[in-house]
Structure 1
Amino acid sequence: MTTIKKTTTASSDTPAENSTVTAAPLETTPTPVVAAAVVGPALVGDAVPQTVVLSHHLRIGGTDYAPGDKILVSPDYARRLRAQGYTART
């Protein structure tokens, strides 16, 4: 059985001369501001959406919301959530 030994060259043992690392300037791209989607029933007419804080776990449209989550809902839906006790006292 033959074993091949690898040898290192002398140039790899010495540090490279004039090796400078220059960093490329970072390009910052602004992140687009995404408007929060209204959860639950759609807004009717010129209604302004309301932000509610949930006091209980709630599943709306296949998405789970934990207690303390803030969601944007229509005024009618906010009124129904308050009546059923799903919103936190604020």
Structure 2
Amino acid sequence: MATNSTTKKPAADAAAAESAEAVTETAPARPSHKPAPEVVGPALAVGAEPIAVTLAHHHTIDGTGYPPGAKILVSPDYAHRLRAQGYATQA
């Protein structure tokens, strides 16, 4: 006949072990991430801030049509090019 070589834990020790295992740690709060602004056209250079421009004429960028008066965020270089070509207002 086989004998069990493991010893039983006393009831108090078993309850303490279960309560120690049941302790859950709360996850640290996630920092609130603001969605990145939708930049149209070429990507921003490292460290550059997007510029809001108002289109003076209908313009299609990356397959999306933008009507006159639409306000879009673009890279500083692209804003300069749009203004030079007359697609964006000078203000």
Offset at residue 36 of structure 1 (A):
3.1
Asked if the contact 2:83–2:90 (Cα under 8 Å) also holds between the matched residues in 1, the reply is no
Count matched residues.
Answer: 58
TM-score scaled by structure 1?
A: 0.60
For the residue of structure 2 that corresponds to 1:80, the secondary structure is helix
For the residue of structure 2 that corresponds to 1:43, the secondary structure is coil
Q: Which runs of 4+ in 1 moved over 4 A?
A: none
Unaligned residue ranges in structure 1 (runs of 5+): 1-32
Offset at residue 89 of structure 1 (A):
3.8
Offset at residue 76 of structure 1 (A):
0.3
For the residue of structure 2 that corresponds to 1:72, the secondary structure is strand
Asked if the contact 2:52–2:72 (Cα under 8 Å) also holds between the matched residues in 1, the reply is yes
Match of 2:38 in 1: 37
Match of 1:79 in 2: 80
- Counting helix residues as a fraction of each chain, which structure ranks higher? 2
Unaligned residue ranges in structure 2 (runs of 5+): 1-33
Q: CA RMSD in A?
A: 1.4
Looking at structure 1, the residues matched to 63 and 85 of structure 2 have their Cα atoms a distance apart, in angstroms, of 20
Asked if the contact 2:40–2:72 (Cα under 8 Å) also holds between the matched residues in 1, the reply is yes
Asked if the contact 2:59–2:67 (Cα under 8 Å) also holds between the matched residues in 1, the reply is yes
TM-score scaled by structure 2?
A: 0.59
